[in-house]
Amino acid sequence: MKQAVALSVLLVSFACHSAEGEGPRRIDDFDDASPWKVIQSDQVTGSLRNVEGPDGKALCLDYDFHGVSGYVGLQRDVAIDYPANYAFSFRMRGTGPKNDLQFKLVDASGDNVWWATKPKFALPNAWTQMRFKQRHISKAWGPSEEKALTNSAKLEFTLASGEGGKGSVCFDALTFSQLPPQDDSPLRGKFSGRNGEWTLDLGKSREIGGAILQWTVAPRHYALALSDDGQAWRDVFAHDNSDGARDYIALPEAEARFLRVTATRSRDGERAELQGIEAQPLAFGVTQNDFMRAIAKDVPAEFFVPEGFRDVQQYWTILGIDGGREQGLISEDGRIEVAKGGFSIAPVIEFDRGPTVDLMPLRAPPEASQSLQDDYLPIPTVRLQFVDHTVEVTAFADDNAGHPRLIARYRVQPREGATNDVFELRVVPFQVNPPSQFLNTVGGVSHIKVLQLDAQAIVVDGTPRVALSLPAASRHVRAFDSVDAPDARVEDPVGLASGELRWPVKLAAGETFELALSAPLDGGTPTPITNAEAAAAQERVAAQWRDKLDRVKFKLPKEGQHIADTLRTALAHMAISRVGPRLQPGTRSYSRAWIRDGAMINEGLLRLGREDIAEDFLRWYAPYQFDSGKVPCCVDDRGSDPVPENDSHGELIYAAAELYRYTRDRELLETMWPHVQGAVKYMDALRASERTEENRAKNPAFFGLMPASISHEGYSAKPMHSYWDDFWALRGYKDAVEIAKWLGHDEEAKRFAASRDQFSADLQASIETAMAQRGIAFIPGSAELGDFDATSTTIALAPGAAQSILPEGALEYTFERYWREFEQRRTGTKKWKDYTPYELRTVGTFARLGWRDRAQSALAFFFDDQQPREWNQWAEVVSRTPRKPFFVGDLPHAWVASDYVRSALDLFAYERPEDESIVLAAGIPEAWLAGEGIAIEGLRTPGGPLSYSLRDDGEHLVLEVRGGITLPRGGLVFPWKGKETRVTRVPAKIEIER
């Protein structure tokens, strides 16, 4: 058995140093299962067995995901040193649902991983040859800065849950080959041919990604074939109805020496004439997005390709109902995506028809501006200024009696002296979500294989998707690189069909052309909606949102109104971004629920009067807890995610306790009690694993903490002992004690209190030790790195309530440093590339530290990075170069929205645990108090709604607090110029010296 393993290693080592051209070397025949071990995540199972394969025995992995998310795979030790270019090959077959196939290579440290992945891979029923070349294998994660793989110690095949389920996957004949160096030289060759057949000879076999054909006279039909020797040809592409000029062909992962085009005569009977074949490099056709980027660089700027393919970042916002199952998007230039990953519809004004090509020319890019109805409702409008006409696009979603739909209203108005133009709705195979978005839902191209445009309907791939209020005067559809198809219906094997519906707009001054569309958000059949019905629906939806968003009312001066508007919009975005009860950060990149996000979103929801959403989320999430008591970091359609993120357990307990504080729903708390018990038990086990003398000797800063994890995104390369986890764990222990007391479980309350106190002491000692080890005066982000991360440290203050265990002066020093560095960034004296608006948490921290002016200065800076500002939203990532394409996360991002909500509300009132009081107006500027001052009405607290006003009458500050709230033990506190005024009974009116 050991001899077999050694032989495999020897063969691989030999293969890595073999001369170019030698055949592949065998790594594993899979005849013996003993070198392999099964790896699996929580509650996923797998087992190995040998079967007869095509060449002796093969090895099969039988797996079952048991309804949870996670992974299962087989791994073995094998040392490999890598040449500059290489390939792995193996045979596989299997049965089961579509999951992600991952081929992983792990270095000797175990920390650095490279991989090749095939998402949502359909297991082949018959034995199939698989091959991963060096260019397919990339760094997955790890702290090493090395991107190229030079050596590895372990090899792994893994199925990561996509659809989950159960099945079997079998492997045979794993080999390794050294390849010649990759040839990246220009793809030049000899072009020849005539009379309907042309050839490009590249001189030797080359890897190519596609081709561009330059026609002088386009044929009715042509075909492209490839050959390695000029004798045996393989057909790779055929096309009917070419539109002439340049034709673009994607050939991902192709390899050949010869390219041959054969063609019929043109539609007019002329002999086809091909001017040239331009072979394209691999990058040309790796994905459809790469293909479109290449085309965008090759066609004139006036041709319609979304800006994202032209290296210009675009922004968008969300369209949906409160707690719906599907959400659309509208871009800042008025394109509408009717469902996740779907096609989009663009409004256009044209002079006339223009050439009939698939990438249709525009008159000129319009100027665009954005707004929201009433400046805060989630009913966005885009105003497009074309040469002679203005087009307004307003979009929203309504419940439609339980059958939610997206509605868009178009209004066209002429400018003085306008010509008789044409309004078009252009159906294009592109998402609003741009190609720079790669996580979960890849943005960019959205395939349309069959497009049919009826007079009042858009039918995509055989499914009616959109209904229109008015019949179009004309309709045109086409396959990619083709002329218009008859009957306004086309089939496109490339999946890039497009078309447009057209309405003449012969308008006199003061006249308006209106059109409305509706698209179901529940998979139903669209029904036409009249313009009047669309207008009435908008009024109804606006009234519904006002009822949901105005439960807390603000009276602010003009300079503060954007704070209130963004608060209400953020609340709407948190409600729309969820899927049913599933609170989630976004609907595209982050379409899954994290307990971390949900717990923090819930706090804002409770303060703004949406305890119904908070309760729905908690009831839905808690049952996904693992049998061990472990709280999954996140949950999606695949089930509970097993990745250990050790903040999760405290967050679930906090969410349950916070909901009870606001609702006093004992029945719900009883339901949560087993989950609280399980989470505490699991946290006790986690810290016990770190509370050992061996660990103390290794590094005393680790003693008694939560184990290292990647809950903090900054530690995704390698798990760290993150104080973020520990502050949440401490909060969880504190709330578990309170929950036990509320429910009368006195013995458990005592046990939980003992865990709380022991953990609190260990955490305090760890922070002091880590600071001493690094010689730092700030609170570090992790015990081992001594890193500065003030955004993470905000959790120590709220909701962690851990100020009492922090070294004296450390909290103030931490945020003084943050402020200095923030000022350098704000004033441009410090270079920066990007940041995450999670930093909005610091606004609330400034208010809690008594830094009233700093809170407002920081908020003004963050407001400047709303995209667009008029839509009151932030992406997860903000760039210093906002028009250069980059990954923005989701837009809007609901967790960022929740950070804003909590910080913005803290400006008006926050709970101070040290003396059990509520502090009022700690972040309100003095200038806002002149005249009528400020007022807030109905802000929810655990004691009921808080309503107060504050104004400067010229001699005093006048604070008036209405009744209706049960004051906490410490009352209400108003801090002003180093002094605090305490209110112990309400209603109250107090005059304070200025």
Res. 420: pLDDT tops 80: no
Query: Could you tell me the end-to-end alpha-carbon distance of the chain, in angstroms, rounded to an integer?
Result: 86
Query: With pLDDT > 70 as the criterion, what percentage of the chain qualifies?
Result: 96
State the average pLDDT over residues 582-603: 95
Residue 50, pLDDT score: 92
Res. 363: pLDDT tops 70: no
Closest listed residue to residue 838, CA positions, set 903, 883, 788: 903
Res. 340: pLDDT tops 90: yes
Residue 818, pLDDT score: 97
Tokens of residue 224, six digits: 């492209």
Helices and strands counted in the chain (H then E): 16, 48
Residue 351, pLDDT score: 62
Rounded to whole angstroms, the Cα distance separating 944 from 639 reads 36
pLDDT confidence bin for 302, thresholds 50/70/90: low
Which pLDDT tens digit goes with each residue over 117-152?
A: 999 999 999 999 999 999 999 999 988 888 889 999
Rounded to whole angstroms, the Cα distance separating 102 from 110 reads 17
Output the average pLDDT for the chain.
92
Residue 548, pLDDT score: 97
Lowest mean pLDDT of 78-87, 300-309, 444-453, 852-861, name the range. 300-309
Which pLDDT tens digit goes with each residue over 496-512?
A: 999 999 999 888 878 89
Res. 163: pLDDT tops 60: yes
Rounded to whole angstroms, the Cα distance separating 964 from 944 reads 7
Q: What structural domains does the chain harbor?
A: 2-178 (2.60.120.430), 190-286 (2.60.120.260), 309-542 (2.70.98), 553-912 (1.50.10.10), 917-993 (no CATH)
DSSP state of 591: -
Q: What are the residues whose beta carbons fall under 8 Å from the beta carbon of 61, sequence distance 6 or more?
A: 38, 46, 47, 48, 72, 73, 74, 157, 159, 168, 169, 170, 171
Residue 18, pLDDT score: 38
Lowest mean pLDDT of 399-403, 548-552, 568-572, name the range. 399-403
Find which of 243-247, 385-389, 550-554 is predicted with most confidence, using mean pLDDT. 550-554
pLDDT confidence bin for 9, thresholds 50/70/90: very low
pLDDT confidence bin for 715, thresholds 50/70/90: confident
Which pLDDT tens digit goes with each residue over 30-65?
A: 999 999 999 999 999 999 999 988 878 999 999 999
Lowest mean pLDDT of 510-514, 753-757, 777-781, name the range. 510-514
Rounded to whole angstroms, the Cα distance separating 593 from 621 reads 8
**Residue 941 β-bridge partners:** 944
Res. 366: pLDDT tops 80: no
Cβ(72)–Cβ(81) below 8 Å: no
Query: With pLDDT > 90 as the criterion, what percentage of the chain qualifies?
Result: 82
* Number of C-beta neighbours around residue 940 at 10 A: 21
Helix axes 561-577, 852-863, angle to 10 degrees: 60
Tokens of residue 407, six digits: 């509605």
Burial environment of residue 937 by CB neighbours within 10 A (0 to 12, 13 to 18, 19 or more): middle
Closest listed residue to residue 250, CA positions, set 284, 205, 274: 284
Q: What are the residues whose beta carbons fall under 8 Å from the beta carbon of 976, sequence distance 6 or more?
A: 957, 992
Residue 355, pLDDT score: 42
pLDDT confidence bin for 364, thresholds 50/70/90: low
* Number of C-beta neighbours around residue 300 at 10 A: 7
Cβ(236)–Cβ(285) below 8 Å: no
Residue 939, pLDDT score: 97
Per-position DSSP letters for 498-529, written without gaps between them:
EEEEEEEE---TT--EEEEEEEESSS------
Q: Between 244 and 631, whose confidence is greater?
A: 631
Which pLDDT tens digit goes with each residue over 432-481?
A: 999 999 988 999 999 999 999 999 999 999 999 999 999 999 999 999 98
Residue 301, pLDDT score: 67
Lowest mean pLDDT of 305-309, 568-572, 874-878, name the range. 305-309
**Residue 72 β-bridge partners:** 40, 159
Closest listed residue to residue 648, CA positions, set 678, 690, 614: 678
Residue 171, pLDDT score: 96
